[in-house]
Amino acid sequence: AQTVTQSQPEMSVQEAETVTLSCTYDTSESDYYLFWYKQPPSRQMILVIRQEAYKQQNATENRFSVNFQKAAKSFSLKISDSQLGDAAMYFCATFPASGTYKYIFGTGTRLKVLA
Amino acid sequence: DTAVSQTPKYLVTQMGNDKSIKCEQNLGHDTMYWYKQDSKKFLKIMFSYNNKELIINETVPNRFSPKSPDKAHLNLHINSLELGDSAVYFCASSHRAAKETQYFGPGTRLLVL
């Protein structure tokens, strides 16, 4: 069975600073996808970044980047130049490339951005 | 031009009632999903339909019944509501069942009194 672990229930970062949210996962799949979603107080689930496991290059989207360590099954999210609007719950998720067709989510990390 | 929409956004009802939540996507996607987010923010898949056919049916009470009249709609009907059904329910869609990013609706907060 696939599992996703986010060991930091809550993190804080000063505005304009950098923060890293950790995520580890366990899967027996050889091919899969990894995602970070953001859920602000509005409740909307917003895709932040996506990584294909077969790609060695870390995905980047503007101020958001990942550190994907496939052997260690680690998929951390780095947010640079943090902004007040980054405050939200962040969920890590895995998705197999075949078979069960469903996301497995972690328990989330609440990020607070301090002005 | 909302991509994935859900109605209603809030639903307050009494135990024992029957209620429905509707979901529509205008992205042309083939696959739609229902997720439940509990009070601890844990998100878990409930159902998934691909081209109107059920492909995921997690262990949920049979009081929950999804219905997909066409590819763009996936509704969730809940019979005999219980206190434990209180949660936020998210609809999502993706182009295909596998590999594709899922796009989520705004969620429906259900409160059962």
Residues in a beta bridge with B30: none
Give the pLDDT score at B99: 64
B16-63 confidence digits (pLDDT tens): 999 999 999 999 999 999 999 998 888 899 988 888 888 888 878 899
With CA atoms as reference, report the closest residue to B15 among B89, B108, B86: B86
CA distance A100 to A91: 20
Chain A residues with CB under 8 Å of B47 CB are: none
Q: Which sign does the torsion angle of CA A11, A9, A36, B40 carry?
A: negative
Q: Which of B25, B85, B84 is nearest to B49 (CA)?
A: B25
**Hey, what are A72's tokens?**
């260690």
Q: Do the beta carbons of residue A45 and residue B104 sit within 8 Å? A: yes
Domain boundary assignment for chain B: 4-112
B102 CB neighbours in chain A (<8 A) are 103
Specify which residues B88 forms β-bridges with.
Answer: B37, B109
Interface test with A, best of B36, B43, B103 (most A CBs within 10 A): B43
Side-chain half-sphere CA neighbours of B53 within 13 A = 4
- Summarised one tens digit per residue, pLDDT across range B57-89 is 887 889 999 999 999 999 999 999 999 999 999
- The CATH code belonging to domain B4-112 is 2.60.40.10
Burial class for A37, CB neighbours closer than 10 Å (0-12, 13-18, 19+): buried
Q: Give the integer Cα–Cα distance in Å for A97 and A34.
A: 10
Pick the CATH number of A3-114 from 2.60.40.10, 3.30.1540.10, 2.40.10.220, 3.40.50.10150: 2.60.40.10
Q: What is the DSSP string of A98-113?
A: SSS---EE---EEEEE
Residue A28 scores a pLDDT above 90:
no
Omega of the bond prior to B8 within 30 degrees of 0, cis?
yes
- The rounded percent of chain A whose pLDDT value lies above 70 is 95
pLDDT computed for residue A42 by the predictor:
85
Chain B residues lying within 8 Å of A35, measured CB to CB: 101
Gap from B98 CA to chain A (nearest CA, Å): 5
Structure confidence at residue A101 (pLDDT): 67
Task: Note the pLDDT tens digit of each residue in A60-84.
Answer: 999 999 999 999 999 999 999 999 9
Higher pLDDT, B39 or A15: A15
In whole angstroms, give the CA distance from residue A32 to residue A55.
10
pLDDT at B98 over 70: no
Domain parsing of chain A, residue ranges: 3-114
Asked if residue A86 has pLDDT above 90, the reply is yes
Q: Is B48 near chain A, with CB under 8 Å? A: yes
SS3 state at A58: coil
Of residues A96 and B11, more confidence is placed in: B11
Question: How far is the C-alpha of A73 from the C-alpha of B4, rounded, in Å?
Answer: 32
Residue corresponding to tokens 């970062």? A13
Chain B nearest-CA distance from A80, in A, is 24
**Distance of residue A15 Cα from the nearest chain B Cα, in angstroms:** 25
